[in-house]
Structure 1
């Protein structure tokens, strides 16, 4: 009799060799078979150039299939964080533009810096179209990181030294369950930016009003 534990696939053995991705990453199965994060929220990476996108689909246990897409002159990366604060040696998957072909790296993010680290990843595929980087891969996610904050970032890449520059974050979610494909994953950075813009506009309006009242009293 097969037990549930026996049915779970073993952890993936590292193989980060990259083969060609023949089909474009798309959002067709979002909310159904895979969890998706995107900026803008409704963008489709198969058609839009300005679309930062990450899809995660559980294959077995802590093994997941990922799709990552975005525009960058250097690299695009997906980070899984245990909390809402980026850093603290967060697991990060990096797809870089290596002179027109994708090169894959495992890394950890700490204090705004990426440090290369071997991660259990295989079946890596990628392609470069202009500035758009797309890659798919399978990975064994650390068990405690199946509930994680997702972030998507870009940064510079030096192909001569494999050096990864400091990441710029374009998408960051609250904690989500990677095993659940249904939730809508929102970008906290957009909310923060919107709130800051409103606050700045109100402040500017108040200063303008005070200025006008001051002139009328002269």
Structure 2
């Protein structure tokens, strides 16, 4: 039976320890998080595995869509995210410049099996060298999420995304990692990478090329030789090459 409680967070800075979710004003609604392929390649950039799977269907589909606003100095751009996947723990979007070095910033949508499969949201940094996860502070707003069995759907915005030392046109260029992991409601297991998109310009809905699907493991991903720094305002740790 679909759980109708949808987590709505108007605006917050998410800060978590391994056992405590960041505090915020929460409200609940019976609205549905509707994620589909409408607009893919035209108004939003879509990345998924398996290729061309349907996030609105019942079959397994790990899917993310990204809409990037035009960068405005000095605040950069805002990314509007839709994320859908199947997991008894969590599904996550990773943003990184180099998936084998530096860090990946993870945006995690999860269910708490110890609390009737309720939805929760966290942000973490993943060390790309040893895959270790570290709680981080990230500004995220308009979070909406729901759980139906193992299906997890969520929407959220990442404001003030900036690049440094490069032209404004590169503000929204990074690699997308999609994956899943385990959760016992307090601790999160390793991020199991299922797909690495390679470098994409989020401002171009048609930027996605052939996806590189990863093995069913958290193994290393080939590096991308690009000097780019993507930062999110109020993050103590920058995505770094």
Which band: TM-score by shorter chain? Answer: 0.7 to 0.9
Contact 1:108/1:117 (CA < 8 Å) preserved in 2? yes
Moved beyond 3 Å, runs of 4+? 15-21
More helix by share: 1
Q: TM-score normalized by structure 2?
A: 0.67
- 2 CA distance for matches of 1:140 and 1:86? 25
Q: Does 1:184 align with 2:208?
A: yes
Q: Does 1:88 align with 2:102?
A: yes
- 1 CA distance for matches of 2:27 and 2:123? 13
Q: 2:175 aligns with which of 145, 149, 154?
A: 149
RMSD: 2.3
**Residues 141/114 of structure 1: CA separation in 2 closer, same or farther (3 Å cut):** farther
For 2:33, the equivalent position in structure 1 comes to 23
Q: Does 1:54 align with 2:64?
A: yes
**Residues 184/60 of structure 1: CA separation in 2 closer, same or farther (3 Å cut):** closer
- 2 CA distance for matches of 1:143 and 1:24? 28
Structure 2 regions of 5+ residues with no counterpart?
Answer: 1-10, 15-23, 72-76, 164-170, 217-241
Give the Å deviation of 1:189.
2.5
**Residues 184/89 of structure 1: CA separation in 2 closer, same or farther (3 Å cut):** closer
Deviating more after overlay: 40-49 vs 147-156: 40-49
Structure 1 regions of 5+ residues with no counterpart?
Answer: 1-11, 194-218
